[in-house]
Amino acid sequence: MPDIKVTPLGAGQDVGRSCILVSIGGKNIMLDCGMHMGYNDDRRFPDFSYITQNGRLTEFLDCVIISHFHLDHCGALPYMSEMVGYDGPIYMTHPTKAICPILLEDFRKITVDKKGETNFFTSQMIKDCMKKVVPLNLHQTVQVDEELEIKAYYAGHVLGAAMVQIKVGSESVVYTGDYNMTPDRHLGAAWIDKCRPDLLISESTYATTIRDSKRCRERDFLKKVHETVERGGKVLIPVFALGRAQELCILLETFWERMNLKAPIYFSTGLTEKANHYYKLFITWTNQKIRKTFVQRNMFEFKHIKAFDRSYADNPGPMVVFATPGMLHAGQSLLIFKKWAGNEKNMVIMPGYCVQGTVGHKILNGQKKLEMEGRATLDVKLQVEYMSFSAHADAKGIMQLIRMAEPRNMLLVHGEAKKMEFLKDKIEQEFSISCYMPANGETTSIVTNPSVPVDISLNLLKREMALGGPLPDAKRPRTMHGTLIMKDNSLRLVSPEQALKELGLSEHQLRFTCRVQLHDPHSDNDTLGRIYTHLKSHSVNASPYGPI
């Protein structure tokens, strides 16, 4: 029986470093190629030696697909293509192709220029890697080769994020990447048609969460920011450059306008302008409201939010600062946090998931003393708040996607083992399908039953109908008697008479004889007479048309 094999090299029972290998119909595909935010050693990138111990990856992979521009999904791409060696096609959507190199260069600067790492990819390697990218349009079927085809669907989450369907013959897999089933202030909800894949590989970051009302969360967020600013405190909001940042900026901008507030709001320099440029460029990827109002008012041109300068962090008085990156593991957000952590008037709001090992994860778990570089300790006195503005599907959203796509099997990645276990049981119970959750380096095999399309002649169908019985039902299999003809790579089921006619053959009759030994004490003639009488009486009874 044919099967589909799935091996996570990253994001297997873990969040971060997404990299999933899929083997389908003799083709090998790598889904995402990310880095882990919580590590600075060998564990930062996926272990590509799993694919090959020596030599380039080109011989082993048919293509690489990147779902979106977050570094935990694309951060290892130049390392994989330029340092390990891969020359095949890399597929991603147009917005991802535009934004990916900016974030990779930003990541390289922090790692090489600031931390001084040497064995790392260069700016040139990022450029060479991006030359291998083939851009995807939504709902466009792309032929990778004669047998392998891929198709992208809208995933919400961040600008340009896509779910991908991979098809070889009649076998298919859908990989979600990260997705969001509820629309937000700047993006629409994920959507897929009823494609009934053999396997749906879904992220499960919030596998056990059913999020509260978005309005309540937004009200709570604005209240906390307002209260802190009113008492003269500073608010730090660590975000990734694109995505939640724009969502929260739109929220604060409208609130500041409504309340006529004067406290300054800042955003990490450079990336705001770039972000706004890309939102304008790819306006079709945003939600309906923004597309409609774009001509009169660009939601991404902020009146109250100014570019941030490093010296502002020491300014007295209240302020709100959006700083990157989002998990406080490096960069501007960590520098500001170190300066503001000692004052209980201040507040840090973590608006999304934090990977284990990051400063964000530590303070959310209530750690009050942090070990920084050079053995220095940092006392955390400021208020720490967590509000999930993360654009991942919650448990309800994951179930909704399964109902949409109707997969035959399910596989969970990008989540914590315990939470996955809970969701796995829920899926198996509700949908009566098998659900898997392999760890990194563990292979899951899913047996498929590929359907072979066969045309059936109208005459044969009419004959079957004439024989009576229930009318054909699409959901119930029915036995049909006919002759299967294979001609010009297609199969047809026809009546035996039609098959003979088409193939120019005449009907043959086969006669079977066999020898039977009888032991009878009577004479030969007597025995023959008795056998004849016996057969004659049986054939008359057996045939309604008289003696045979």
3-state secondary structure 374-440: HHCEEECCCEEEECCCCCCCEHHHHHHHHHHHCCCEEEEECCCHHHHHHHHHHHHHHHCCEEECCCC
Exposed / middle / buried, residue 453 (Cβ in 10 Å: 0-12, 13-18, 19+): exposed
Q: Please check whether residue 191 is in contact with residue 163, taking contact to mean a CB–CB distance below 8 angstroms.
A: no
Q: Which of 158, 26, 47 shows the shortest CA–CA distance to 92?
A: 158
Amino acid 290 reads I
Across 141-172, b (16+ Cβ under 10 Å) vs e yields ebebeeebbbbbbbbbbbbbbbbbbbbbbebb
φ, ψ of residue 67 to 5 degrees: the values are -75, -40
> Residues for the chain: how many in total?
548
- Residue 539 CB partners (closer than 8 Å, separation 6+): 547, 548
Is residue 203 annotated as a catalytic residue, yes or no? yes
Task: Report the alpha-carbon distance of residue 331 to residue 120 in Å, rounded.
Answer: 18
Sign of CA dihedral 471, 475, 480, 482: positive
The candidate with the shortest Cα–Cα distance to 239, out of 328, 365, 355, 346, is: 328
Query: What does DSSP assign to residue 187?
Result: B
| DSSP 8-state assignment for residue 109 | I
Cβ density class 287-321: b for 16+ within 10 Å, e for less: eeebeeeeeeeebbebebbeebeeeebeeeebbbb
The number of CA neighbours under 13 Å toward the Cβ of 46 is 38
Single out the catalytic residue among 82, 171, 203, 247. 203
The counts of H helices and E strands in the chain are 15, 25
Give the C-alpha separation, 97 to 103, whole Å.
11
* Active-site residue set: 203
